[in-house]
Structure 1
């Protein structure tokens, strides 16, 4: 079979099914899972060609609900064509595009239409879209919901781009009043601006200077505010890219009190630590910052215990000049890490050492992100009637991240040279092969997803 072709049946000795791994035959009809046959003695009479992948693991394609594609307006940073090919090569079958850093941002109905036009015909995987909450756009929220936006993101601190301003607490009250009763979700970049944290005479090329400028207290204070608003309005709230374990007790208490609150962390907070970031290595800069190894282990424990709901990439690429690689100045470099393509192997490489199972991989990378963006009725699980979005991969296969294998537009990533476990063999979107052993379908096969 070749990229672009439709698959009717997939056979493997290792298929994820109902929280276990077993031999099975997946039958696909009209782009959806029709049936999963697990009985080894059942004969299936068909003339269809079967894709037999032997011992490769077959599971639902991952859903990355936190991706900055940046098109239109900053397509030199990324773009739908390159971002979704990168996603496909990493086993991601659905992405959800953030409302920034594109120009215009997705903060009005008209801007959303502009975004849809820009994405049309360019996506190799299915693509959904978050809207944005900015000051004084509350009248745009319900029209965007009716047009297919599943939820909205806001910043409680400067976003990094002028066209997406951060909100005040009064802006949040106005927005949440509009969202109450809609079933929509409000996503928070939860950092609050505090007094200047920089210590005089610190070397901006030392990672510690940047880390000290964005302490845990910025997240803790912001998450306290979000928790109170969530309880007051009973609008689902979601904390994006949690980096500080010090905020976990606040989240636990709010959820125990009845707040419909969910939280994600990212691959870089689970894979990278401050102690191992060299001077001038601005490829490691992101906001909130990568924190200590001790903090990282607490995030892993919270994930294991169910206090963190999902893991995403927060793929936030840029051009090389914005990373200030020539000066190594952490304070001036763009804050963002590119990892869309490597989420599955990054997570598995670290998770396998900590006793995590494949069913937990599916939960954190597939099911929970799909539920967040209101796609849990057709994405993220192997159930009859669900889209046949599938990743076929080898959890035992080790590979090296090289520039030649990177498919996102700018090859800047702190993972260059890393050896990871979990090589992706093939990715299918609604039963069609979009990626197979280094090759892509001739044409984009992804659809633009609108929430109902």
Structure 2
């Protein structure tokens, strides 16, 4: 029975719970979900009521793939602007990638530097991945003990010299070390031997040809083999090749501890629509053809792909030159991920409950954030309130990212984020930062 300690009740005809969407009243006590009650349940005396009518209440999104670039490259982004954009988009927890900042998160000292940069300026809860690079195997256990959620590595060049890729021997050493203490290795999986020379110029087809599906497929196959041998837990980042899905599904069925994410841009954009010089669409691995996009949706539907996260990878405006060979590769979508994915999902007959699973529950589970990702008793009272049938047109001037280049400019999307709530507090995007720095809670 819910007692007098409840201080807030959120009510909606569409609350997305682990059991699906239903009318409900969500009782909150001290920033935690105390109970999910029938819609018409009488609120406890003194509790504040927030009635959202027919707007949907989702668990706050958990975005486990964000490049904040702070400290060191804050002209690209920064904790304050990234977390403001996150809050505006219904994201209540993000996990920062270990590279593109200076220093990268490859030692405990570097982690502390990054945490200090973030401490006073985050609007949402913020965790950190560590990095696995050729010369830091001895740093991995100390970083794990210091609270990073796992370790990222590259199998092909990362694009920044301070974060080198691992060769096969280095990958095996790092994976074995991480498996030894029960950690998680997350991998940018493109095999450099399968990448092709890229011709300079504005033609997207030339860029796409330089990063074929075979590069992803070969890297994923190698990861599966190594993870099986070492009994390691691995996660494939930003999968864009639908060809890799059958081998991933087979590996999962065979007990290999592998999970997979994809991203909003791979689920909604296609190579056929990218204009000449349109480097706002450039990312690695690349956006592929429409038939490949359909395969990724099928992989989500059957559970082969576990989660959808942004891979928010911004840069200074001048780095997006019109030459696909020289432009920085990365798409900024932190603020737009929920409406982007929901627009395509609803057109394909998928539900808000599925979107919440892909974008909140599954990422929280991946990162070991057991208080996040679902609307049920005992979790943090983190919510995204969405008007699912309302449309808006993306105006870059209204984005909170530091650099407002976007591949979605001018697109009409379904799903307006009305408000975002962190531990029972409505986030004022331009207000006093109220996020916390978080660590593994396992």
Q: TM-score, normalised by structure 1?
A: 0.94
Q: Deviations 1:159-188 (Å, cap 9, x if unpaired)?
A: 000000000111112112211242311001
Q: Displacement, 1:47?
A: 1.8
Contact 2:200 2:325 in 1 (8 A): no
Aligned to 1:8: 8
Structure 1 residues 7 and 289: alpha-carbon distance in aligned structure 2, compared to 1, 3 A threshold: farther
Aligned to 2:419: 426
1:448 paired with 2:437, answer: yes
Aligned to 1:126: 125
Aligned to 1:416: 409
Distance in 2 separating the partners of 1:359 and 1:22:
10
Q: Displacement, 1:43?
A: 2.5
Distance in 2 separating the partners of 1:224 and 1:274:
25
Aligned to 2:350: 356
Contact 1:312 1:365 in 2 (8 A): yes
Contact 2:195 2:212 in 1 (8 A): no
Distance in 1 separating the partners of 2:39 and 2:403:
46
Aligned to 2:246: 249
Distance in 1 separating the partners of 2:42 and 2:215:
60
Distance in 1 separating the partners of 2:244 and 2:25:
44
Aligned to 1:218: 215
Q: Deviations 1:122-168 (Å, cap 9, x if unpaired)?
A: 10000010000000201101101111011000000000000000001
Report how many aligned residue pairs link the two structures. 436
Aligned to 1:34: 34
Distance in 2 separating the partners of 1:50 and 1:178:
50
Q: Displacement, 1:111?
A: 0.5
Q: Deviations 1:396-438 (Å, cap 9, x if unpaired)?
A: 0000110221011000111011110000000000111114xxx
Aligned to 1:301: 298
Aligned to 1:3: none
1:280 paired with 2:277, answer: yes
Aligned to 2:3: none
Structure 1 residues 300 and 196: alpha-carbon distance in aligned structure 2, compared to 1, 3 A threshold: closer
Distance in 1 separating the partners of 2:39 and 2:274:
50
Aligned to 2:367: 373
Distance in 2 separating the partners of 1:333 and 1:135:
26
Aligned to 2:331: 337
Q: Displacement, 1:39?
A: 5.3
Distance in 2 separating the partners of 1:44 and 1:211:
56
Q: Displacement, 1:29?
A: 0.7
Which one is further off, 243-252 or 64-73?
A: 243-252
Contact 2:12 2:39 in 1 (8 A): no
Structure 1 residues 7 and 300: alpha-carbon distance in aligned structure 2, compared to 1, 3 A threshold: farther
Structure 1 residues 7 and 118: alpha-carbon distance in aligned structure 2, compared to 1, 3 A threshold: farther
Q: Displacement, 1:320?
A: 1.0
Aligned to 1:115: 114
Structure 1 residues 137 and 343: alpha-carbon distance in aligned structure 2, compared to 1, 3 A threshold: same
Aligned to 1:144: 143
Q: Displacement, 1:53?
A: 1.3
- The correspondence of residues 186-225 of structure 1 with structure 2, limited to 5 A, is 186-194=185-193, 197-198=196-197, 204-225=201-222
- The correspondence of residues 43-62 of structure 1 with structure 2, limited to 5 A, is 43-62=42-61
Contact 1:157 1:166 in 2 (8 A): yes
Aligned to 1:236: 233
Structure 1 residues 219 and 45: alpha-carbon distance in aligned structure 2, compared to 1, 3 A threshold: closer
Q: Deviations 1:51-92 (Å, cap 9, x if unpaired)?
A: 111111111011000000000000000000000000000000
Distance in 1 separating the partners of 2:205 and 2:214:
16
Distance in 2 separating the partners of 1:442 and 1:294:
44
Distance in 1 separating the partners of 2:49 and 2:418:
16
1:391 paired with 2:388, answer: no
Contact 1:7 1:433 in 2 (8 A): no
Q: TM-score, normalised by structure 2?
A: 0.96
Distance in 1 separating the partners of 2:238 and 2:138:
27
Q: Secondary structure at the match of 1:127?
A: strand
